[in-house]
Amino acid sequence: MKRFPLAALLLALGALLTPMLAQNKNVATRLGFVDADALVQAHPDYKKVQDLQAQARKELAPLEEKLKPLDQKIRSGQATAKERQDYEALLKTYQDTLKKWQDRQNPVLKPILEEVDQAIAKVAKAQGFAVVMSRQVAAQSGLVVYADEDTDLTQAVIKELKK
């Protein structure tokens, strides 16, 4: 008598049972994509984030303009000790200012991101999608090389956000 390995037996059993289980259960199996940036920007409260970003740019731009020439001198090896010291102090000011603006933006952005996630989940469930991925991340990672246009849920989620 020939013996079958347990793994092969389980695999064969799974292959036989899978169609029966699929008939008995309505399981979402589709994979969808969204343009996450477009969804955040389409949120009704995104204007608040843009306003904060504009204020941050106004404060950060002069610091960046002072940093650029010092950075170039340091990279070329022509900076004096005083210029390197000025650069370090200016860089610290820039980083502290950037953190201040990020800390102001995060509480405004957090509820927007939560609402976007909820809208994605609602649309995905309603349309039978089991997984929804960021189109940008999927493309950059090389994880997905092709996706049919009917897998893009971006417009449906935008409609949900505007309700």
Confidence of residue 28 (pLDDT cuts 50, 70, 90): low
Strand partners of residue 131: 31
Alpha-carbon span 146 to 139, nearest angstrom: 9
CA pair distance 46, 64, nearest whole angstrom: 26
Would you tell me how many other CB atoms lie within 10 Å of the CB of residue 154? Answer: 19
Q: Please state which of the ranges 17-21, 56-60, 64-68 shows the lowest mean pLDDT.
A: 17-21
Is 38 a residue whose pLDDT tops 70?
yes
Least trusted range by pLDDT, from 13-22, 40-49, 96-105, 146-155:
13-22
Q: What is the pLDDT of residues 94-141, one digit of tens each?
A: 999 999 999 999 999 999 999 999 999 999 999 999 999 999 998 888
pLDDT band at 147 (very low <50, low <70, confident <90, very high): confident
* pTM passes above 0.75: no
Say what the pLDDT of residue 149 is: 87
Predicted confidence (pLDDT) at residue 7 exceeds the cutoff of 70: no
The pair of structure tokens assigned to 149 is 């246009």
User: If you average pLDDT over every residue of the chain, what do you get?
Assistant: 86
pLDDT at 78 over 80: yes
Taking a C-beta distance cutoff of 8 angstroms, is the pair 52, 108 a contact? yes
Residue 9 has pLDDT above 80, yes or no: no
Query: What single string gives the DSSP state of each residue in 14-77?
Result: HHHHHHHHHHHS----EEEEE-HHHHHHHSTTHHHHHHHHHHHHHHHHHHHHHHHHHHHHHHHT
Q: How is the chain split into domains, by residue range?
A: 26-161
Q: Which residue in the block uniquely carries the two structure tokens 């259960």?
A: 25
Tell me: domain 26-161, CATH 3.30.910.20, correct?
yes
pLDDT score for 26: 59
Has residue 4 got a pLDDT over 70?
no
